[in-house]
Structure 1
Amino acid sequence: MTKTLTRRAWLAGVSMIAAGTMALGATAAAANDPVTVGALRFTSHAAGFVAFEKGYFEEEGLDVTFEFFQAAQPIAVATAGGDVDFGITGVTGGLMNLAEKDAIRIVGGVLHEKKGYDGMMVMASNQAYDAGMTTVDDIKGHSVAMTQVGSTFHYMTNLIADAKGWDMAEMKMVPLQKVGAMVAATKSGQTDVLIMVPHIAKALAESGAAKEIGWLNDYAEYQISTMITSVDNIENNRDMVERFVRAYSKGIADMNRVYLEGDADEAEVEEMTKLIAGYVAPDQPYEKAAPSIINGAMYLNPGMGLNKTDVAEQMQWFKDEGLVKSDLTVDQLVDDSFVETW
C-alpha cells in the first residue's frame, strides 16, 4: 500500500513538473511582442523580409507578420488606426494629415534616391514614345500615372517639373489608386508617363511593354520612403520601436552589402534573391523574378537614417499645394530620437 501511494505521488509529481515546464515554455514562446508591418511587394521594401527570414526580428523579441497593400497612402491610415504597427511609406499628403492629428510619426528613413544607384525610372508608353515623347524634356503636357493625389508619384512628378521650370498645372495627373493599375494604364497607352521602381520598370522595358526615357535621380535626390509608427507606440511602447529599428537596420545592411557594394559572391546573391522573391513575386517562377529583383536593388539608408531636411522640403510642397494644413511642423511629422537625421 505504501509502495503504491509513493508511486502515485511520484507520477503526480512528474505530471506537475511536466505541466510546469510546458507552461514555462508557453510563456517563453508568448514573450515575443506581436508586430504587424504594412508593406508593398517592392524590392525596396525587402529589408523587412530579409530581417524576418534571417531571424533579426526574433532576436529582438519580435513576432513579425506582414500585411501587404496596393499603394502607400493606405499604409499610413492602417498605421494610424492600429491595424499595423509599422509601415513603409512615402511622405504622402495622407501621412502628413494624420501626423497633424498626432496619430503617427516618421521614425526612420528607408529608400533614398542617390546618384550612382538605380532609382525610379521615368518611362513612356509605347504609343507616346512613337508619337515623339522620347525624353523627359518631352513629357510636359502629357498624362502621368499616379496612385492618388498627394502620393509619392505625385511628388516625384513635381520634382521633375520643378527641375525643368514647368508648372504642375501643365502636367495631366491621372489617379489610378493602385500600382498595378498604373502599370496597366501605361502598357495600354491610357497614360503617357510612368515613374516606377526599377524591379518593375526594367521588366517593362526589357519586355517592350514601355520605354525607358530617364531616371528621377538625374533631377533630384530625395527621401522616397520612410518608416512610420503610431504616436501610441512611441509613447507607450518605445522599447519595442527601438528593437524594431535595430532589426530592420540589419536587413538594410544585408541588402546594401549583397546588392550594392559588389563584394558578395554569387551564392549569397542567389540566396537573398530567392528569399526576397517569395515576398515580391510569390506567383512567379524564381528564374523569371530574379533578374528584376537583382537589377532593381536601390539605395537604402544605413541604420534607417533619415534625411529630415528633405522631408521638410516635401512637407512645404504639400502645404503650398494645399494638400496639408499650413500649421503642420516637421517635428509633428518626424520623431528624430530613434535614428540619425540630417
Structure 2
Amino acid sequence: MFSITRRAVAKIALSGAIALTAASSAIPAFAADKITVGALRFTSHSPSFVAFERGYFKDQGLDVEFKFFQAAQPMAVAIASGDVDYGVTAISGALINLANKGAIKIIGGALQEEPGIDGQIILVSKQAYDDGVTSPAELKGRSFGITQAGSSFHYMAHKIAQKEGFDGSEIKTIPLQKVGAIIGALKSGQVDSWTIVPHIAKALSKGPAVEQIGMVADYIPDYQVTTVFTSTENAENRQDLTKRFLKAFSMGAADFNAALVDKTAGDQAAEDMVVLIHKYVYASKPYEKAAPSIRNGAMRINKDAALNVTNVKDQLAWFQSEGLVSKDITIETLVNTDYVDTF
C-alpha cells in the first residue's frame, strides 16, 4: 500500500494539462477559404455586405474580400478570369458569351421586381419632360442611357419599346460605360431617359433636373434583375465552397428582407440595417442624407437565392434576337440549376 499526497496529485494534474496544451497547440487550425466577391455599391447588393458584417461568411469558413465595379460586364469578365470568385449583377451579353465559352455559370437569383414593392424607375431629363416626354410611350425617337450594348439597361429599354408598340431600335441607346456617367448625362440633358434602381432614381427625381415617368415592373413583370454567378470551375468542381457561399448570402438576404422589405423585424432592426449598408452605399455622404436613399432602395432579394428561370429565358431570347449572343446558346449553357430552387 502506498499513498499519494495532494501535492503529488496536483503535480500530476499540472503536468497533464501542460502536455494536453502542448499537444493541442501542435494541431494545425484549418484556415478559412479566401474568396473575392464582386459587387456594386448599390442597396441591392446588401446581402453580401450583411453576410460579411454579421459573420455569416466567416461562419461558413469563408474569408471574403470585396472587389467593387461600376457596371455588370466588367464583373463578368473578372469572374471568367479568376480575379473574382462570386458575383451578383445583372445578366449582360458579355456574361452570356462567357458562359457560352464555358467560363461562367449563373447559380442563383438575387434582386427581383415584385408587385407592391417599389422597383426600378423610368426617368427622363427635365429638358425631355418639358419637351413632352411625360410617359414611356413618348420615348420613341429619344435617347436612352446605357452602360454598354448588351447590358440590362439595353434590355429594359427595348422591352419598354416593345410593350409601347414600337421597335427597340427606335430608342437611341447611348453607351456611357459607367452609372455615374449616365447620371451626369441625364441631369445635364445629354441623354433623354434611363432606368435605375429606386435608391438612385428617387434621389434624382427629387432634384430639379430629373423626372419620373414610369416603373419597369409595368413592362417586365417578375423581372429577375440580378443573378448570382461564378466560374464554371467553382460551380462544377468546388460545390462545397459554392454551397457555403450561397448559404451565407441567403442568410444576409433574409436579414435584409425582414428589416427593409417586409419590415417584420422591427424599427430598430431596420435602423441597424441602414447603418450597416451605409458603410458600403453612399458612404461618402452623411448618414442623415444617405439613410432615406438606402431605405428607398429596398427591393426584394429572392429567398434562398431562388432563380426565376422563366425570366432568364426571356432575357436570353432577347439577347439572341438582337444578335448580341449566339442563337445556339441554351439555358443549360447559361444556368447551373444544382444549387437553388427555380421557377
TM-score bracket, shorter-length normalisation: over 0.9
> C-alpha separation between the residues in 1 aligned to 2:26 and 2:288?
45
The aligned amino acid for 2:269 is: E
Residues 146 and 237 from structure 1, CA distance in 2 versus in 1: closer, same or farther, beyond 3 angstroms?
same
> Which consecutive segments of 4 or more residues in structure 1 shift more than 3 A?
13-18, 20-24
Distance apart, 1:14 and its partner CA:
7.1
Question: What is residue 3 of structure 2 aligned with on the other side?
Answer: none
Task: State the alpha-carbon separation in 2 of the partners of residues 50 and 315 from structure 1.
Answer: 30
Q: Equivalents in 2 of 1:38, 1:260: separation in Å?
A: 23
2:289 is aligned to 288
Number of aligned pairs? Answer: 328
- 2:50–2:277: 8 Å Cα contact kept in structure 1? yes
**Partner amino acid, structure 2, of 1:81:** S
Q: TM-score, normalised by structure 1?
A: 0.92
Q: In structure 2, how many angstroms separate the alpha carbons of the residues matched to 1:15 and 1:207?
A: 70
CA displacement at 1:22 relative to structure 2: 5.7
**Structure 1, gaps ≥5 residues long:** 1-9
| Structure 2 counterpart of 1:86, one-letter code | Y
CA shift at 1:262, angstroms? 2.6
| Displacement of 1:263 | 2.3
* Distance of 2:120 and 2:105 partners within structure 1: 25
CA displacement 1:279-323 (0-9 Å, x = unmatched):
112211111110000011011111100011111111111111100
Alpha carbons 1:43, 1:293 under 8 Å: kept: yes
Counterpart secondary structure, 2:255: helix
| Letter in structure 2 aligned against 1:333 | L
**Using the alignment, how far apart are the partners of 1:23 and 1:219 within structure 2?**
62
1:237: Cα distance to partner? 1.0
- Residue 57 of structure 2 is aligned to residue 57 of structure 1: yes
Q: Which residue in 2 is equivalent to 1:3? A: none
- Give the Cα–Cα distance (whole angstroms) in 2 for the partners of residues 132 and 72 of structure 1: 32
Q: 8 Å contact 2:48–2:252 — kept in the other structure?
A: yes
Tell me the percent identity. 51
Cα distance in 2 for residues equivalent to 1:74 and 1:22: 44
2:335 corresponding residue in structure 1: 334
CA distance in 2, matches of 1:238, 1:282: 34
State whether residues 80 and 230 of structure 1, in contact with CA within 8 Å, keep that contact through their aligned partners in structure 2: yes
User: Does structure 2 retain, via aligned residues, the 8 Å contact 1:115–1:218?
Assistant: no
1:269 corresponding residue in structure 2? 270
Quote the residue 1:308 is aligned against: 309
- How do 1:11-160 and structure 2 match up within 5 A? 24=27, 27-28=28-29, 31-160=31-160
Contact residue 48 and residue 249 of structure 2 kept, 8 A: yes
Structure 2 Cα separation of the partners of residues 133 and 207 of structure 1: 18
Structure 2 CA distance for aligned equivalents of residues 106 and 115 of structure 1: 24
- Following superposition, the deviation at residue 169 of structure 1 comes to 1.3
Q: What stretches of structure 2 of length at least 5 have no aligned partner? A: 1-13
Q: Residues of 1 paired with 2:42 and 2:174: CA distance?
A: 22
Q: Indicate how the Cα distance of structure 1 residues 300 and 16 shifts in structure 2: closer, same or farther if over 3 A, else same.
A: closer
In 2, Cα distance between equivalents of 1:261 and 1:334: 29
The match for 2:235 is 234
- Determine the C-alpha separation between the residues in 2 that align with 1:88 and 1:74: 12
Please tell me the root mean square deviation across aligned C-alpha atoms, in Å.
Answer: 1.8
Structure 1 contact 103–230 (Cα < 8 Å) conserved? yes
Separation in 2, partners of 1:282, 1:15: 51
Judge conservation of contact 1:51–1:57 (CA < 8 Å) in 2: yes
Shift of 1:265: 2.1
SS at match of 1:128: helix
TM-score with structure 2 setting the length: 0.92
Query: How far, CA to CA, are the matches of 2:20 and 2:224 in structure 1?
Result: 57
- Work out whether 1:185 is the aligned partner of 2:194: no
